[in-house]
Amino acid sequence: MEDDLSPQKREESPGEAVAPRSLYIVTSLALGFFLLLAFLSILFPDTVWKGFVWKYFWGPVVADALGHPVDGIKEGYNIYNTLIYGLLLSLAISWVYVLLKKLRLEIDTVFIFALLPTVLSGGVYRAFEDTGLMRYPGSVLFISPLIYVLLALVVVSAMVSAHMPGKRAWFRVAWFWAGKKTGKSGVLGGLVGWALFMVVFYSTGFQRALVGEPGGVPTLVLTASIPLVSAFSVATVALYSGEKLRRSEEVAVLSAGTGVFVHGVLDIFLWFRFAAGPGGGVETHPPEIAVITSLALLMTFLVAGVLRALWAVLSRGFFWIKEVYLRPLSVLILFAHLLDASATYRAISSYGYSEKHVLPSFLINLAGTPLVMYPLKLAVILPVLYIMEKYIAVELKDRTMVGLLRLAVLVVGLAPGVRDMLRLSMGV
């Protein structure tokens, strides 16, 4: 008689972390490739390290962190690091999927909106790193793609801490503060995720850099007050969202992300206050925040209006237009990518910036205008949304994986868009 637990009969139990064998194989191959690359870099430093790893991967990151070319290597993307980063992103999504299954979490619309402060923080800190107030080599952690690895660790630590068993005997203060069940461990998770980011952030030498800036004691007091304000925002958001959200992991992610985001916004305020203030000598463009956001909103309303008109006129055969493109999350994704397009357009056309990504740079040079970013974004994002909602969501019937894909599409548009918009307004 066949064993009930045999591969043919066994069913996935709720909360079980099931990683397919193929994922282990691909991950092992990736680790083996990087170990081999490291070994070859030691054996053949001129050929492998300088001629490949430094030239196409680490060199651009260091050049970005230092703000100038290093050994002839400029910041930016190339075909090699773009491909590798894409493969690593796919692996990361797969392992996050396994973790979410283990925690019995679904990435639904509510959870994605809870992650918005963290996504925005990616763009905020990426722009703040461009100011030069972070000291090398710690500043490397705030360069793409490492900043998103760091923020992913913040989210994971917040979720795991909120999900941690046995917390009733350990954190009675957090319970008393938050009140409802979802907020009890949400306070803990939020503070753990926030604290992890703060330790990494201040280890970059940011605070040490500001102490020597003009302003003396007021500067130091203002700098020291920022983490206190952001910690208060973590606790406040956890307190109130614990009354509304049904899962402690959502509370933890929202509160941790809010604390990190508030800290980043205050850091940028410091930049305008000191570096770009009297005597700072930096030309800033704060109105560009309103200009770029308005352009993105205008284009979003225009595209959504056209899609809605098509749905109204052709509703009998095109009822899917509303399901795919006019749901709130789809509109947010559309806005995120149009924000990125608007920031690129303004930066290149009005201030002489250049595009670092391979394909957009090629198309901008080919068309002779950065306006090509708008049709390029629509040509990519509209089919992606259609395939994701009409086929992947239906075929997979797995809300967690579909939610992860939606989140990934949102992040690759919103985070770069926020970074470019803030960088332009800050004059860096």
- Same domain as 157, residue 211: yes
Classify residue 194: in a domain, yes or no.
yes
CA angle (413, 416, 421) in 5-degree steps: 115
Instruction: Look at residue 206 in the predicted model and tell me its pLDDT.
Output: 62
Are both 135 and 248 inside the same structural domain? yes
Domain assignment of residue 314, yes or no: yes
269 and 359 together in one domain: no
Structure tokens belonging to residue 87:
């493969």
Q: Which residue has the tokens 């086929």?
A: 391
- Stated length of the chain: 428
Do 100 and 211 fall within a single domain? Answer: no
Specify whether 148 is located in the same domain as 268: yes
Domain extent, residue 314, equals 287-426
Q: Confirm whether 8 is domain-assigned.
A: no
Closest Cα to residue 181, out of 235, 251, 114?
A: 251
Domain end position, chosen among 282, 314, 342:
282
How far is CA 143 from each of CA 73, 124, 341, rounded to the nearest angstrom? 16, 12, 21
pTM here?
A: 0.83
AA letter at 212: G
Residues 299 and 379 grouped into a single domain = yes
In a domain, 6, yes or no: no
Does some domain include residue 196? Answer: yes
Nearest-10 Cα torsion for 198, 200, 201, 207: 90
Predicted local confidence at residue 74, as pLDDT: 85
Task: Give residue 31's pLDDT.
Answer: 93
Query: Under DSSP, is residue 357 helix (H, G, I), strand (E, B) or coil?
Result: coil
Last residue of a domain, one of 282, 317, 338: 282
In a domain, 147, yes or no: yes
Q: Of 227, 255, 282, at which residue does a domain stop?
A: 282
Q: What is the pLDDT of residue 298?
A: 96
Provide the residue type at 62 as one letter.
V
| pLDDT in single tens digits along all 428 residues of the chain | 334 333 333 334 444 445 678 888 889 999 999 999 999 999 999 999 999 999 999 999 888 888 788 888 888 888 888 889 888 888 888 888 888 888 777 788 889 999 999 999 999 999 988 887 788 888 888 988 889 999 999 999 998 888 764 444 444 444 444 444 444 567 888 899 999 999 998 887 665 445 444 444 455 566 678 888 999 999 888 888 877 777 888 889 999 999 999 999 988 887 887 766 665 677 888 899 999 999 999 999 999 999 888 877 776 666 778 788 888 999 999 999 999 999 999 999 888 888 777 778 888 888 888 999 999 999 999 999 988 888 887 777 777 888 888 999 999 999 999 999 999 998 88
Residues 307 and 408 in one domain: yes
**Total domain count, the chain:** 3
Residue 238 belongs to a domain? yes
291 plus 276 within the same structural domain:
no
Q: Are residues 296 and 314 in the same domain?
A: yes
In a shared domain, residues 276 and 304: no
Alpha helix ranges (H) inside 6-145: 21-43, 59-66, 79-103, 109-114, 116-129
264 and 136 both lie in a single domain: yes
**Are both 45 and 127 inside the same structural domain?**
no
Residue 4 located in a structural domain: no
CA atoms 40, 43, 47, 52: torsion sign? positive
